[in-house]
Amino acid sequence: MNLKTDDMKGKFGLIGTNISHSKNPLLFKAAYSKYDFTFDLVDSPDFDDAMKKVTAMDLSGVNVTTPFKDKAYFAATKRDILCNTIEASNLLLIKNGEIFAYNTDYYGVKDTLAHYNGSNVKTLIIGCGGAGRAAALAVKDLSHKVSIANRTFDKADNYARKIGATAISFSQAAGTLEEFDIIFNKLS
C-alpha cells in the first residue's frame, strides 16, 4: 500500500471537529515548502459531511483527528495492518476513488519511546479512542507492561485483551499513578 508523493495531486487537509485553531497548515507548509502543495482545514461535526467536502475539494489525502479516527478506518477501502489492529486511522490517502487508511499515531509513540523498551517499563494509557489504542499498541510492541484506563471500562478491557495488556478503572488508575514510568493522556 505504498503511495508515492508523485502520485498525489498536491491538495491535502485535516478533517475533524472544532479545528479552526489547528497549526497543521503552517506545519505542513514548512515541511513541504519545496512542493506546490496546499493544505486546508475541513471542519465539520459530521464525518460523512467532512468526506463530502474532501471529495468536492478534490483532496489527495487528509489527516484525521477527533472525533473521526474510528469512522475513517471504516470508510477506507484498503487499510494497513496497524489500522486493522487499532481499528482507527489518522491518515487517509485517496487515489482513483480508493481510500487508503494508515495509522501514523502508532509510529509517533513508538519512535519517540524506542529507547524506553523492555518489560520493566510500566505505561498507563488514559483513553481508549483511536489515539489511545495506537499508543497502547506501540508501547506494547516495545515490550512495556501496559495498562489502559477508559471512561468505559469494557472498551478498555476488550482492547487490552486483544493486545495482551491490562485494563484498569479510572479510580484504580488515579490511586496508582506513581507506579507508572510513563503516562499518556489520550482523552479528548
Instruction: Say what the pLDDT of residue 9 is.
Output: 65
Q: Which member of 69, 71, 110, 186 is catalytic? A: 69
Q: Catalytic: 110? A: no
In three-state secondary structure terms, 142 is coil
107 contacts 83 by C-beta, under 8 angstroms: no
At 187 the pLDDT is 87
Pick from 86, 70, 130, 80: nearest CA to 100: 80
Across the beta sheet with 91-95, the strand order is 38-43, 11-16, 61-64, 91-95, 98-102, 78-79
More confident position, 92 or 4: 92
Tell me the pLDDT tens digit for each residue of 51-90.
999 999 999 999 999 899 999 999 999 999 999 999 999 9
pLDDT score for 93: 96
Question: In terms of pLDDT, which residue wins out, 159 or 7?
Answer: 159
Instruction: Report pTM.
Output: 0.89
Tell me: the pLDDT tens digits for 106-143?
999 999 999 998 889 999 999 999 999 999 999 999 99
CA distances from 161 to 14, 138, 154 (A): 32, 15, 10
pLDDT at 5 over 80: no
Residue 175 has pLDDT above 80, yes or no: yes
Q: Quick one: what percent of the chain has pLDDT higher than 70? A: 95
SS3 of 34-73: the string is: CCCCEEEEEECCCHHHHHHHHHHCCCCEEEECCCCHHHHH
Is the pLDDT at 2 greater than 80, yes or no?
A: no
Count other Cβ atoms within 10 Å, centred on residue 21.
6
Question: Average pLDDT, stretch 93-113?
Answer: 95
Q: What pLDDT does 119 receive?
A: 83
Helix, strand or coil, per DSSP, at residue 159: helix
- Predicted pLDDT at 147: 98
